[in-house]
Structure formats: C-alpha cells, structure tokens
Chain A
C-alpha cells in the first residue's frame, strides 16, 4: 500500500510543484537556481549532484517551509514508509556509544575524508546530557527526555523514526534525515535512542 503512495506522489510531484502557491518569486527563484548551478565545483566527497533539490526540499523551498497540509501529510507518510529497522528488532542500544556519536560533528563536508564514520551532530543543535554545556540551540532541549516522556515501545519507535527521518513528523524540519541519507546506520540510531531514553543515561539522571 505504501509503495503505491510513494509512487503516486513521485509521479505527482512535478505537477504539484507547479501548482503550489509559491512563496518565492518564481523569477528570482529560477535565476537563483541557475546561478547556483553554474557557480560551484566538486570538492572531496561533495559532488555537484548535491545542488539539486529532491522532492521534499523542492516543496519546502517553494513554500518558505510551510507546505499545504494535505501535501505535507502525504509526503510525511512516504517518509515513514521508507524507514529501515534494525535487524534484531530492538530499538534501544548502548547510550555510551550514543553519547560519543552525539558529540561528533564530523561528516559529509568536503573536508571530511569519505568513508570515515559520520557523527550525529546532535550537540550542534540540542542540549542533551547535563554534562555537556557547549550545546547548540537550533533544536529544542532534549535534557531529561526519557524522564519526561517515558520509554515505552511507542516512545522508542517515535525517537527511532524521528532520528531516522525527522521529516516524517515535520516535513520541513531543520533537522537532517540521518537514516534516510545513510549518515547513520540503524545500529547507531539505536544507540542514540538509548542516549535519550535509557534510565541509566546521564540524560535522565
């Protein structure tokens, strides 16, 4: 069933984007894209294909990050359909590994060696463990996350899928789609779930 939806929206995307109530001035937008296309060169692992918008990006760019609700709901469902789950079916791993992943901001830039493990970048945007005071504020504080929200199977599933692909719940979220773009493997996402939800994690002390 999900396959069908994915397929339908893929086909519908080009027409949808032309029908959208564009927030951006189309003339300037077209010129901006043309300018970007000619003004970059590949470097390290960062190839020119990164300049093209995928479906989600195109819709968010078109609508100033406020897509029409019906469209957002359909696309969010598609994002959910593409989640890959850990082989053993468990969603909580090792919070200690999760903490070091959350600390590392490495990955995907032209100065990062390709193939090196990619970090989670989490502290760039979130307060997480009370021990780390150098945290960013682009995202909400996740301090005491498990203490406040519990660690039921549903909560584990929510956190796993949120990290796997933040756009499932908020199509134009500022948070990257870590699983979807294969920055983080299912095993690593499990460790991050544990960092947020495990009662032993410093996050919940």
Chain B
C-alpha cells in the first residue's frame, strides 16, 4: 500500500520534474521555486526515498561481495557490529580499526571494501545517481537505510574526542578557504544569514540554525532530475559551483566538511531522509 502511494507520488514528481527542467533556464525561476515548495511540502510523508531505504535494508542484510558476508554481520558503524539505531547522527566519528574520522557514507564504503571485499575503485567510479539512471547506486540506498534509522534522534557528533575536534577545525578552515578563478569559498555563498542565489536559499553553515538547514533532509530524494542523493553528492556539486576541481569521493576533505556541518547542528533532532528541490 505504502509502496503504491509512493509510486503515485513519483509520477507527480516526474511530471513536475520535467516542467522544472523546461522552466529552469527561463525567467520563471520564481514561480517554479514556489510550485516546488508546494509539492515538496505535500509529498513529505510519502517520500520516494522510502523505496531507497527498503532497497538499502536488503543490501545491508544480504551476503554480498567476494567474501560473501553481509554488512549486518560485519560492519561496525560505531555502536557495535550490525547496530544501526542512531548511528547516522553520531557520525562523522573516529574509527579505531581504520584510524580515521569517517562520515556515514565513507564508513559504509570502508566496510564494503574491508569486510565484503569490494574494490574501492569500482564503488568510486559512479557513486551518485544521474537523472537517466534506472536506480540509485547501492551505496546511496545503504546510506538511506542507515540514515532512516536515526529518525527522531538528535545530531551528536562527539567534539570531545580530540581526533574529531581536529577534523572539525580543519573542516572549518576548508569552509573558509577562498581560491579558484572566482575567489569562492563555501562561506562566499554560505557565510551570511538570509542570502540567496537566484531563488535558492543559502543556509549560513557557520551557525547552528544554518547548519541545521544544511544537514536536515539529507540524504534526499531530489525533485530536480528525480534522483536519490547523499551529502557526499551535495559537497561534490557545491565544489563544482565553487569552480574548484572535483573532490575525490569519500575523501578526508569531505569528511572534514561534514564534521563541521553536522557538529554545528548538534542537539537538533534529525527527521530522516527528506525531499529537496
């Protein structure tokens, strides 16, 4: 039943998604933005991302990869092997076995490589869904599933851990680092309250309120293109807008930024995967 309802919503999205593609380059940004906010609000409780969560659950529990083990029986997201309740909102965190601070997506990739025997290069080759793909990559579905199991729990990045604190401070530096042909940093677009580019609101990631807007609703089902996307993608696309070269997938730089963003939203209750414009 639920699945049917979501599929119905998907059709509506497909139609409006096409509409948006047509108007995106037009003068009518303002109207398109309004229409979308309306749909977004209406559809929030039948988020197509729930289908991704379901697929992610299968992937989490299935024996897979060259080593034929499941993540459920091998992967520790910080709370013990297979424990996933509240794991997402406590990442990035320090993982002793990898001797690194890792965000959720990077940690799951680490488990797929170390425990299941997948090759990092194969996962990193195409980590994000594009509009014409038939579905989201496995890793996106897995992140959706894990994120869904932190619904209703407050963000709680452990800044008392000195290793996490250091990565947080580095992330803050990266967020303010201006370079490239346009002299942009994250903070050029996300450093002041109440700004926007065209009609798109730009959260100020240096404040609790802004950082909350930045991390809430991710991973997300994105109406533009009808794709499921994670924070790794969001960071990647903002570096594109920043006119930087491309950040490597699941790299320290992305973890550092996500540590900065998420910890700035500490204490705020996470609502689970959402819907974005």
> Number of B residues whose C-beta is below 8 Å from A?
44
Interface centre among B183, B240, B252 (most CB of A within 10 A): B183
Stretch of A12-20, A103-111, A149-157 contacting B (4+ beta carbons < 8 Å): A103-111
User: Within the complex, what minimum Cβ distance (angstroms) separates B205 from chain A?
Assistant: 14
> Number of A residues whose C-beta is below 8 Å from B?
49
User: Within the complex, what minimum Cβ distance (angstroms) separates A43 from chain B?
Assistant: 4
User: Within the complex, what minimum Cβ distance (angstroms) separates B252 from chain A?
Assistant: 5
Determine if A33 is an interface residue (Cβ-Cβ < 8 Å).
Answer: yes
User: Within the complex, what minimum Cβ distance (angstroms) separates B248 from chain A?
Assistant: 5
Assuming the contacts A39-B248, A41-B245, A111-B240, asked whether A32 and B27 have C-beta atoms less than 8 A apart, the reply is no
Residue of A36, A38, A181 touching B174 (CB-CB under 8 A): A36
Q: Restricting to A106-156, which residues have a CB under 8 Å from any CB of B?
A: 108-111, 123-125, 131-138
Instruction: Give Cα distance in the complex from A25 to B166, angstroms.
Output: 11
Determine if B244 is an interface residue (Cβ-Cβ < 8 Å).
Answer: yes
**Chain A minimum-CB-distance residue to B174:** A32
Residue of B27, B169, B189, B252 touching A132 (CB-CB under 8 A): B27
Cβ A138 vs Cβ B182 within 8 A: no
Residues of A within 8 A of B177 (CB): 32-33, 36, 53, 61
**Chain B minimum-CB-distance residue to A138:** B195
Determine if A177 is an interface residue (Cβ-Cβ < 8 Å).
Answer: yes
Residues of A within 8 A of B179 (CB): 50-53, 57
Determine if B241 is an interface residue (Cβ-Cβ < 8 Å).
Answer: yes
Cβ B169 vs Cβ A61 within 8 A: no
**Chain B minimum-CB-distance residue to A124:** B197
User: Within the complex, what minimum Cβ distance (angstroms) separates A111 from chain B?
Assistant: 6
Q: Restricting to B179-234, which residues have a CB under 8 Å from any CB of A?
A: 179-185, 188-189, 192, 194-199, 202
Cβ A28 vs Cβ B197 within 8 A: no
Determine if A31 is an interface residue (Cβ-Cβ < 8 Å).
Answer: yes
Q: Mark A29-69, 1 if CB is under 8 A from B, else 0.
A: 10111011011111100111011110011001100100000
Residues of B within 8 A of A134 (CB): 27-30, 33, 198-199
Instruction: Give Cα distance in the complex from A35 to B25, angstroms.
Output: 36
Residues of A within 8 A of B256 (CB): 32, 35
Instruction: Give Cα distance in the complex from A39 to B246, angstroms.
Output: 9
**Chain B minimum-CB-distance residue to A37:** B253
Determine if A174 is an interface residue (Cβ-Cβ < 8 Å).
Answer: yes
Instruction: Give Cα distance in the complex from A123 to B25, angstroms.
Output: 13
User: Within the complex, what minimum Cβ distance (angstroms) separates A166 from chain B?
Assistant: 9
Residues of B within 8 A of A135 (CB): 198
Cβ B245 vs Cβ A50 within 8 A: yes
Assuming the contacts A31-B170, A39-B248, A64-B176, asked whether A136 and B243 have C-beta atoms less than 8 A apart, the reply is no
Instruction: Give Cα distance in the complex from A174 to B176, angstroms.
Output: 12
**Chain B minimum-CB-distance residue to A108:** B243
**Chain B minimum-CB-distance residue to A30:** B173
Determine if A176 is an interface residue (Cβ-Cβ < 8 Å).
Answer: yes
Determine if A183 is an interface residue (Cβ-Cβ < 8 Å).
Answer: yes
Determine if B178 is an interface residue (Cβ-Cβ < 8 Å).
Answer: yes
Determine if B251 is an interface residue (Cβ-Cβ < 8 Å).
Answer: yes
Cβ B178 vs Cβ A57 within 8 A: yes
Determine if B17 is an interface residue (Cβ-Cβ < 8 Å).
Answer: no
Instruction: Give Cα distance in the complex from A52 to B178, angstroms.
Output: 9
Residues of A within 8 A of B117 (CB): none
Residues of A within 8 A of B182 (CB): 108, 176, 181, 183
Cβ A42 vs Cβ B245 within 8 A: yes
Interface residues of A (CB under 8 A from B): 24-25, 28-29, 31-33, 35-36, 38-43, 46-48, 50-53, 56-57, 60-61, 64, 105, 108-111, 123-125, 131-138, 167, 174, 176-177, 181, 183
Add 13 more A-B contacts to A35-B174, A43-B245 (CB < 8 A).
A24-B176, A25-B169, A29-B173, A32-B256, A40-B253, A46-B245, A53-B177, A57-B183, A123-B198, A134-B28, A134-B199, A176-B183, A181-B182
7 A-B pairs whose Cβ atoms sit less than 8 Å apart in the complex: A32-B256, A41-B245, A43-B245, A50-B181, A53-B178, A134-B198, A183-B182
